[in-house]
Amino acid sequence: MQEQLNSVFASYQGEKNELIPVLQDVQEELGYLPEEAMCEVARFVRLPEAKVFGVATFYARFHLEPRGEHIIRLCCGTACHVRGATKIADKLKTMLDVDVGETTENMKFTYEEVACIGACGLAPVMTIDDKTFGKLDPDKTEKTIKKFDEDSAEGGEA
């Protein structure tokens, strides 16, 4: 891990105001923010560990637990809500047997709910990693996940 951290630190000066971008890059590298990594970051930007922990827990995009291989983000924005996002949420939760923020047992999918992806024209919407899937209904959701699961199992890249 130290090597990975050093490679991130190499492009920064170690200033206090770099904390957020440094944490973002560390998370990009490690997939999440383990405690030891945060302590290293604290030393690097010369801030108390508590401050770093405070920032990491304040922002929704930082994760302190390991996450699945693929991230499913269901949009719960207003437009999606009025077009039935809760039904999609129910479907995903039963299908994957997870609650919000949890990861499937095989570490394949992490299920998250986000406020708005800004693709309201296609509501209800979810994203799997960087791909957007719109105009969902419970059936289409199930098919999409199944297809994604199969595709990613075959070729590695969906």
Partner 1 sequence: MYERHILICAGTGCISSGADKVEEALIESLKEHNLEDKVRIIMSGCHGFCEKGPLFIVFPEDIFYCGVQAEDVPEIVEEYLVKGNLVERLLYKDPVTGEQVINHDKIMFYSKQKRLALRNCGVIDPENIDEYIIRGGYRGLKKALQMSPEEVVNEVKASGLRGRGGAGFPAGAKWQFGLSSPGDQKYIVCNADEGDPGAFMDRSTLEGDPHAVLEGMLIAGKAIGADEGYIYVRSEYPLAIKRLCTAIRQAEEYGMLGNNILDSGFNFKVKIKEGAGAFVCGEETALLASIEGKRGVPRHRPPFPAVNGLWEKPTIINNVETLANVPLILRRGAEDFASVGTEGSKGTKVFALTGKVNNTGLVEVPMGISIREVVFDIGGGIRFGKKFKAAQIGGPSGGCIPEEHLDLPIDFDSLTAAGAMMGSGGLVVVDEDTCMVDMARYFLSFTKKESCGQCIPCRLGTDQMYDILEAITEGKGKPGDVALLEELASAVKQGSMCGLGQTAPNPVLTTLRYFRDEYEAHVKEKRCPALVCKALLQYSIDEEKCIGCQRCIKACPVDAITGEKKQPHELDQELCTQCGACFDACPKKVGAVQVLSEGLPEVEEAEECEEGCKCHN
Pick between residue 67 and residue 87 the one whose CB is nearest to partner 1: 87
Buried b (16+ CB within 10 A) or exposed e, 56-67: beeeeebbeeeb
When binding is defined by CB under 8 A, the residue of 67, 81, 108, 140 that contacts partner 1 is 81
> Minimum Å distance from CB 58 to partner 1?
4
Q: Are 18 and 12 in contact (CB under 8 A)?
A: yes
Cβ neighbours, 10 Å, residue 89: 21
> Minimum Å distance from CB 38 to partner 1?
14
> Minimum Å distance from CB 82 to partner 1?
5
When binding is defined by CB under 8 A, the residue of 36, 59, 101, 105 that contacts partner 1 is 59
Which of the residues 139 through 158 are near partner 1 (CB under 8 A)? Answer: none
When binding is defined by CB under 8 A, the residue of 29, 30, 62, 69 that contacts partner 1 is 62
Cβ neighbours, 10 Å, residue 55: 16
Q: How many residues bind partner 1 (CB under 8 A)?
A: 43
Among candidate residues 151, 80, 141, the one with its CA nearest the CA of residue 113: 80
